Chain A
């Protein structure tokens, strides 16, 4: 497994290979907490937010919302407490970058959060980790203790007037709690249901106070932005999305791993075939899901020879999305019908049950997939699946419904053969056209 940077100097992954990389000592010896010092040494909160704005850093959790803008939404004159919450729920299938950051370089997250807390005036902050990452809590807690002992956390940090505390908290293993408002509900001790927006968390989040929820990778980018300056950071990437991005590469490549690429990396084919050393076993590339399970699946024909640029805009042009950077590569042995069925079962299991379309729709989708897999498919099933997806998409309370629909819609569209195979032989005498009237 490869962990490292391609096409740029390692930024986020700078220290992960060092011995005792998670210790404060190693972190400090390698440039750690310098950004914090710099901030506390005379940057105003607004100046920090400005740098982040200039950096064109976009949220790494999946939505890609400009971080600086998110921070500036926090009302300056609110008398309420403010919170910075780190979303370490990393539960998007195919994504495993945050765990490496936290496991191997926890202080980078702490420093990022401290700077964010300073910029936003937050006194108390939380790291919300998914239930399955319980072991990470110990690592984070140790790092927080170290920081506390070194006066990097707690009262009057580094002798300044800035006081700040960070606590860890685990979820109970629900995918929906990665959605920022559901995360806040869960953090408050309630059922992990998403909340209505507006009000957005920046105005009314945790305990109805202004809150910024950022992904681990977003927050860990902050110290470097401060150190090198927003502009320099932005220049690492593209105009609209600055810096580097971590890609969690899994599937049928010879060298899976966590890859740090500059935003706008050219191109996806080169990335798969050269950087990831190509498809294992000498087989053919069939499909890629580039951004975690909630994005459109891309067939090889949309990648090979197409110069797909790996950033937000490039992937949209190519018919998919960056999402969380969960890069899943599939070779010719994969039956996309089965893949889609598997993903749909995941979404059904994780649907929180709040709204009608997602709750009932995903349940229905899974039942249809199972029936088809059991050999009881009907010619009209593909059309039915698409229609159910259409009825979920855009109508659900939170984006989970959309996320459940997109893989199915793109899979049926891009891989009709795989669906045909399951539907056709079973319907004696059915014409091919009838079975796939949908495609």
Chain B
């Protein structure tokens, strides 16, 4: 506990920690101090001059954002002098501001507007001509109206400090200063966080521009569906249509603050996309078309076919495949369906990266994103969080830049995060297992270093860093590790032993929004991978029930055998390569249309909330499964309530014991699932296995030397993301259009072939 000091604010004496920031202390105690440029998570700016206060013994008014409290400080936040100054600042800010609120997207949720309500004058004294600058596009995602800018520079700071991209910066000077890009076009990861933190309508979401007014939108707090970080966001919907996604903290106060990545922020147009499957579809005969059907017909038809196959071939003729992208509720219903209705263990989830070895040997808690932000040592083995788990990437970056953490990266690719690394260890491709071997002890350094292609001393340095850490030490790993290596890494905290002042935390980097949940529910069948299950086709497997689509890597080359199956039932949003094989297709509801939960890579169980009613005739996945069960004479008893499904999950899954929706209500206090911690295990076998695996490894020292381009994963137009028309543009290299005054969408057409190939390359 830091020293306590006394500060007097407006005559009231408060105790506060030494070193506390005055503006925070004032606000904490209800003394409203206005500000624009102050943002607690960013470098100080002190440029808006709104937060002026009077401090005794100081000659001038002081900006409270830059003042550190000292003992005995006497502060006044409200006086005639201060109010005059603050009103003057608002008057200055409005001088060249266009006051075009009626046509501004931010109108109604603009911080400048709010400030003017409190501090603005009744009368405008500025009667001169306003400076003019045209509206323009900075990129396909970011529209810009420079005239509205108050130059608080939150945007340039988030771009630099959060994203490490420094893609936007102020140009020009004096009253002609504008926020701009370096070569007239924004080539960055297009996260749009600059839009989010903009207090005015200067930087705008180009996908939402001129689409709706904020007060028309019903804001629903939910969990993002795109990666395993599980950012909290707020979907703004108007009469059944999702118009935008924001994280602005007046709406959401989740693990991510105001941070979102390009997918979370801009990839929502798939929800109301015209290509959504509208009704159930049935392919009555092989080679025929999928024909629209009613729900009753489709459920009845499927149940009849299933019953017939079951009677003829038994329960193990069925394969059930869930998805790490579905809610826990949907996956649980599928599992229950497999076990209780069909009576088979032939189920799995369509993911290639199983976390089972990690969770079975977990010997330290999972690191939350907040833990990562304040960690002292961060070891990243494989993975590319800045592209695949952008929030984790941002937290790592800030831990280093703002918290002075030591980041060690082992990767065969010089990923962008290496800019922040104290040690970037460029290893030979495919040798990630050797890293685990080296971290576990010095015995195998020669072997490990040889295969990794690094010096043994480097490995000793990393072990020393782990040894010397005071505070939190976070181990992150990607999908490159083998099962034995993952297990050993999960046991590393035990292997290295406990020490006062050091805490180990683990953080896996799975790909999907509910990879961890799919594991927890038990659908990630440790005994049966998707490939193994699909390979049974033609050898006893007669029917498949798939929620979501198969990954291209699982589908490729198996199309013909799968076509021979008696029945394939698919629940999907869009027609995909998997629905092309299906006999029955059920239109599923997207994450925006359903209630449920996702479990993120920190093990936090977070709510998914219905923002709009399911589009067309879509239904939530678990409801489809339950309806199918009913038709097969099994009553799941869920009574059309997702919370009932979740209660059953909590009753059956130990890690979720005691959880209920009401307990998950507050997104600012996410609840971590209680993953069981294994004690010290004997890892000799696993280490021996890794050693053998490495010894037999044929390594190449041909390491990629080029840092992957920003967005090489983020911009990949998948089934969902390609529905945002800007994604293919970005994936095609984000070309600068002939004029920046018109949306690039109306100027550049991405080649249709490219669109097709890039979509195929996605999920």
Kindly state whether residue A80 has any CB partner on chain B within 8 Å: no
Q: Contacts A363-B174, A384-B125 given; indicate if A356 touches B47 (C-beta within 8 A).
A: yes
* Chain A residue nearest in CB terms to B43: A196
**How far, in angstroms, from A116 to B687 measured CA to CA in the complex?**
62
Kindly state whether residue B732 has any CB partner on chain A within 8 Å: no
Given B44, B48, B61, B91, which contacts A394 in the complex, CB threshold below 8 Å? B61
Given A196, A357, A359, which contacts B88 in the complex, CB threshold below 8 Å? A357
CB atoms of A356 and B174 under 8 A apart = no
Kindly state whether residue B172 has any CB partner on chain A within 8 Å: yes
CB atoms of B128 and A371 under 8 A apart = yes
Instruction: Please give, as numbers and ranges, the residues of chain B lying within 8 Å of A353 by CB-CB distance.
Output: 151, 170, 172-177
CB atoms of A360 and B93 under 8 A apart = yes
Q: Contacts A348-B174, A351-B173, A352-B174 given; indicate if A361 touches B46 (C-beta within 8 A).
A: no
CB atoms of B175 and A360 under 8 A apart = yes
Report B300 CB to chain A, min CB distance, Å. 69
Per-residue interface assignment for chain B, residues 60 to 89, with 1 indicating a CB less than 8 Å from any chain A CB and 0 otherwise = 110000100000000000000000110011
CB atoms of A357 and B174 under 8 A apart = no
Given B46, B50, B96, B173, which contacts A360 in the complex, CB threshold below 8 Å? B96
Interface positions of A from 385 to 402, Cβ below 8 Å from B: 391, 394-397
Per-residue interface assignment for chain B, residues 124 to 137, with 1 indicating a CB less than 8 Å from any chain A CB and 0 otherwise = 01101101000000
Kindly state whether residue B677 has any CB partner on chain A within 8 Å: no
Chain A: residues with Cβ within 8 Å of the partner, total of: 28
Given B88, B129, B131, B150, which contacts A395 in the complex, CB threshold below 8 Å? B88
Scoring A174, A359, A364 by chain B CB atoms within 10 A of each residue's CB, the highest score goes to A359
Chief secondary structure at chain B's binding surface = loop
**How far, in angstroms, from A391 to B85 measured CA to CA in the complex?**
6
Kindly state whether residue B710 has any CB partner on chain A within 8 Å: no
Kindly state whether residue B92 has any CB partner on chain A within 8 Å: yes
Instruction: Please give, as numbers and ranges, the residues of chain A lying within 8 Å of B52 by CB-CB distance.
Output: 395
CB atoms of B128 and A368 under 8 A apart = yes
CB atoms of B46 and A196 under 8 A apart = yes
Of the four ranges (under 10, 10 to 19, 20 to 34, 35 or more), the interface on chain B belongs to: 20 to 34
Kindly state whether residue B460 has any CB partner on chain A within 8 Å: no
**How far, in angstroms, from A368 to B126 measured CA to CA in the complex?**
9
CB atoms of A367 and B128 under 8 A apart = yes
**How far, in angstroms, from A356 to B36 measured CA to CA in the complex?**
11
CB atoms of B47 and A397 under 8 A apart = yes
CB atoms of A391 and B92 under 8 A apart = yes
Kindly state whether residue A354 has any CB partner on chain B within 8 Å: yes
**How far, in angstroms, from A275 to B88 measured CA to CA in the complex?**
46
Instruction: Please give, as numbers and ranges, the residues of chain A lying within 8 Å of B172 by CB-CB distance.
Output: 353
Instruction: Please give, as numbers and ranges, the residues of chain A lying within 8 Å of B49 by CB-CB distance.
Output: 355-357, 395-397
Instruction: Please give, as numbers and ranges, the residues of chain A lying within 8 Å of B92 by CB-CB distance.
Output: 356-357, 359-361, 364, 391
Kindly state whether residue B555 has any CB partner on chain A within 8 Å: no
Instruction: Please give, as numbers and ranges, the residues of chain B lying within 8 Å of A384 by CB-CB distance.
Output: 125
Report A395 CB to chain B, min CB distance, Å. 5
* Chain B residue nearest in CB terms to A351: B174
CB atoms of A357 and B89 under 8 A apart = yes
**How far, in angstroms, from A361 to B94 measured CA to CA in the complex?**
11
Kindly state whether residue A362 has any CB partner on chain B within 8 Å: yes
Report A301 CB to chain B, min CB distance, Å. 30
Given A174, A350, A362, A395, which contacts B85 in the complex, CB threshold below 8 Å? A395
Given A174, A191, A363, A397, which contacts B96 in the complex, CB threshold below 8 Å? A363
CB atoms of B128 and A364 under 8 A apart = yes
The 3 A-B pairs with the shortest beta carbon distances in the complex, nearest first, are A353-B177, A391-B88, A363-B175
A-B contact pairs, 20 of them (CB 8 A): A196-B66, A348-B174, A349-B174, A350-B174, A352-B174, A353-B172, A353-B174, A354-B151, A355-B46, A355-B47, A357-B88, A357-B89, A360-B93, A360-B175, A363-B96, A391-B88, A394-B60, A395-B85, A397-B46, A397-B49
